[in-house]
Amino acid sequence: KRELIVAIDGPSGAGKSTLSKSLAKELGYHNIDTGAMYRSVAFAAKRQGIDPADESALGRLAETVRIEFIRQGEGERVLLDGVDVSSAIRTPDISLLTSRISAYAGVRHAMVELQRKLGAQGGVVLEGRDIGTVVFPQADVKFFLSASTTERGRRRYEELRAKGLAVELEQTVAEVEARDAADCARECAPLVQAEDALVIDSTAMSIDEVFRTMLQEVRRCQ
């Protein structure tokens, strides 16, 4: 069996995180959450009081922060300069700030380089927006996961609620829409489907169904 590079792209709330984690676990692969990397840069920027409009300062920040993934029991944690930021990077305001700063070429350049290093050996599932198009255009298996905006907003709402955040459904749907629009409209590495990606619309599918479809595709390519 070959150690593959598996790319999972798609808009927020499509189920990328859940599926990439469970696929990686099933295959014995590393799971690389690239959104968490952009979120960590946004979090560091906020903490240091950097102006979100200051593109060059943000580019420099992205070059210098240290982002690591460590395994802890069943889960995986994100460390920013040695500090666990796994929960802190998931708030709605960090989500919006992330979408903004991830449009900058300098920020993307630093993250893409790190992602290529982490994935180069294969045996990885990477999830994000531009994995199959920019980071690893030669990935062995590419998925593009989507679902209707309402369904994705609803999922994100449940997720945030489960974490104890006092969010409203309507506002969560609106934020998901705004973030998608920004991710698709940006000039640098916008969210687009790779031509050779297997597109899965999960609106009316259970997580388990999506999981089995994806696993089958990976096994076929191994």
Question: Can you tell me whether residue 190 is helix, strand or coil?
Answer: coil
35 binds ligand C5P (CB under 6 A): yes
Determine if 144 is a binding residue for ligand C5P (CB under 6 A): no
Residue 22 as a binder of ligand C5P (CB under 6 A): the answer is no
Our CB check for ligand C5P shows the closer of 27 and 183 to be 183
Strand, helix or coil for residue 173:
helix
Paired tokens of 99: 């979408």
Please name the residue that has the structure tokens 């580019």: 59
Per-residue x/- mask for ligand C5P, residues 162 to 201, rule CB under 6 A? Answer: -----------------x---x------------------
- Of 19, 39, 155, 200, the one binding ligand C5P (CB under 6 A) is 39
Contacts to ligand C5P from residues 87-126, by CB under 6 A: 98-99, 102
Give phi and psi for 65, each to the nearest 5.
-65, 155
Position 34 contacts ligand C5P (CB under 6 A): yes
Residues near 67 by beta carbon (within 8 Å), at least 6 away in sequence:
36, 37, 40, 41, 78, 79, 80, 114
Give the side-chain half-sphere CA count within 13 A for 68. 9
Binding flag, residue 152, ligand C5P (CB under 6 A): no
Choice between 2 and 150, CB closer to ligand C5P: 150
Positive or negative CA dihedral for 82, 84, 86, 92?
negative
Query: Contact, 51 vs 121, CB < 8 A?
Result: no
Question: Which residues line the annotated binding site?
Answer: 10-18
Q: Where do contacts with ligand C5P occur on this chain (CB under 6 A)?
A: 12, 34-35, 38-39, 98-99, 102, 128-130, 179, 183
